Each structure stands twice: as C-alpha cells, then as structure tokens.
Structure 1
Amino acid sequence: MSGSIVKTPWHLWVVGGLGVLWNAFGCFDFTMTATNNAAYLEPYPQELRDYWLNMPAWTWVIWAIGVFGGLLGSIALLLRRKFAYPLFAASFLGALVSMGRSYLDKEAPAVEGMAFMSLVILAIALLQALYARWLSRREVLR
C-alpha cells in the first residue's frame, strides 16, 4: 500500500471525536483538581481532596501525561498522524502508573466505585492505543 492513498475509514472520525470528548474531560478533571477549584471539588469528601492535594509532584506529572497524552493522541488520530500511537501509549502508561500508585498506597482513602472507574479508564486508554497502532499498521495514519 505504500505510495497509495488510503481512504480514511468512517470509524476513525467516531473514535477520534469521542476520544477528544472523553480525554478533554480528563484534562478538565485534572486541571480543576490541580488548581484546587472549590466548586468542582465540593462533592468529594475532604479526606479525598486532602489526599489529592498532598500527592508528590511526580504523581501530578504522571497524571498529566495520562490525560493530556490521551487528548493529544485523539487530536493526532483525527489528523491521521502516526504519532497518535505513542501519545496513546504514553497516556495508557501514565494512567496505569498513576492508578497503580493510588491502588497500592495504604493511605489512599477508599472511594466506592473508584476501582471500577479506574478499570474503565485503563481499558479505554489501552483500546485507544491499540486502535491507533492498528490504523498505523494499515497505513491509514501517516
């Protein structure tokens, strides 16, 4: 297929568009938490808010890589760029390390449903990376 123009499949637009929305919310959540936005954080228990705001700096960096990598990966996917895959891979690894750290931290407050939501986030991040890799191998991404 090299040298020929590969038609953009319809599902790229669906996956990319939904990915932008999904990952933009992750970026919004990160930004509101990092800036300690009182209105946004109000529904969360004080114990959880204190935990987030006292995390080590490296965890904030890993979290940022996870969420912003996903958003940039979705944009790259819509632009049909091969670097969507490494961005999604970085997003998945960022989410894995960030959530793994929280899960293994004995001092992390327990929140009902958090483990399930973490698995959903990880699954979506992994599927986005695999999807971009598949499109890249099919030469849809350039």
Structure 2
Amino acid sequence: MDTLTTPRTGTFRLVAIMALAWNLMGLAMFWMQWNITPEQLAQLPEGQRAVHEAMPQWVWIANGVAVVAGVVASFLLIMRKKLSVPFYWLSLIAIVVMFGYSFLMSDMIGKVGAAQALTMPIVVTVIAVALLWYARRAQSRGWLS
C-alpha cells in the first residue's frame, strides 16, 4: 500500500481512542443527569435546577441520541469502518437539536448566565464537528473500509 491510503497508525488510533473517551464521558454525564435524585437536584443552584426540571422529553431523547451515536461512531472509527461517518453526523444533528432548544426555546442564559450556558455547548459542538471532519477525512483517504 502507498502511504497516502495508509494512516499513521499511532496518530489515527490516538484520535480514535480520544474520541471514544470523550464520548464515553458524554454518555456518563447523560446517565448522571438522567438519574439525578431529588436530593441531588435540590442541591443544584436555582437556575440549573429550573433548566433541568423544564427540559422536555424530546430534548432528553436528542441528548441520548447524541451521546450514544457518538460512542458508536467512535467505536466504528477505532475499527476503521466507514459507518462511523453517518453516526458522527447523527450525533452532530442531535447536538444541534438539543442545544437549539437550550438557546432558542428556553431561557438558559438568563437562568444560569452566559459563561455557564455557552461554554459546554460550544466545546461539545466544536469537538463533534472536528470528529465528523476527521472521520470524513479518514474515509476520503481510504483509511476506513
């Protein structure tokens, strides 16, 4: 094989493993939020509690789809499968839906402040776009089967 169609194994694997670690952290955060106890919810600041309690079921579903699709996409990337690309797309679309609600249909910024409301959504979205870009790049270079 020529070097244009064969990735640098260490770099590719490092990115894929970091992608999986990131998405597993997202899955863990989703699980903790989904299973928060009333006692834990009562300890949150008023704004965070209000945002959590007001979140509609479809946003929870979008959140779940985003993290599960991201985990699946990352596993597929590690296995060098082209199917990782559509799963990264699904994850990104679900992220946009989820954060779209947060900023367009709720008063998250007013309830928790701009710094807290914007930081994580920006980081999550940028990383999701970067992972999709990387998977598409890997696919176009023939690194995925």
TM-score (norm 2): 0.83
TM-score (norm 1): 0.85
Deviation at 1:75, TM superposition (A): 0.8
| 4+ runs deviating over 6 angstroms | none
1:115 matched to 2:118:
yes
Higher helix share: 2
For 2:76, the equivalent position in structure 1 comes to 76
Are the counterparts in 1 of residues 6 and 142 from structure 2 also a CA contact under 8 Å?
A: no
- For the residues of structure 1 that align with 2:81 and 2:39, how far apart are their CA atoms? 37
Deviation at 1:12, TM superposition (A): 1.5
Deviation at 1:21, TM superposition (A): 1.1
Identity, % of aligned positions:
25
Q: Give ranges in structure 1 of 5+ residues lacking alignment.
A: none
Are the counterparts in 2 of residues 16 and 74 from structure 1 also a CA contact under 8 Å?
A: yes
Are the counterparts in 1 of residues 47 and 112 from structure 2 also a CA contact under 8 Å?
A: no
Are the counterparts in 2 of residues 32 and 40 from structure 1 also a CA contact under 8 Å?
A: no
- For the residues of structure 1 that align with 2:139 and 2:53, how far apart are their CA atoms? 38
Which residues in structure 2 correspond to 1:1-142 (within 5 Å)?
A: 6-9=5-8, 10-37=10-37, 44-108=44-108, 109-111=111-113, 112-142=115-145
The aligned length equals: 138
**Pair 130,43 (structure 1): closer, same or farther in 2 beyond 3 Å:** farther
Are the counterparts in 1 of residues 27 and 67 from structure 2 also a CA contact under 8 Å?
A: yes
Deviation at 1:74, TM superposition (A): 0.8
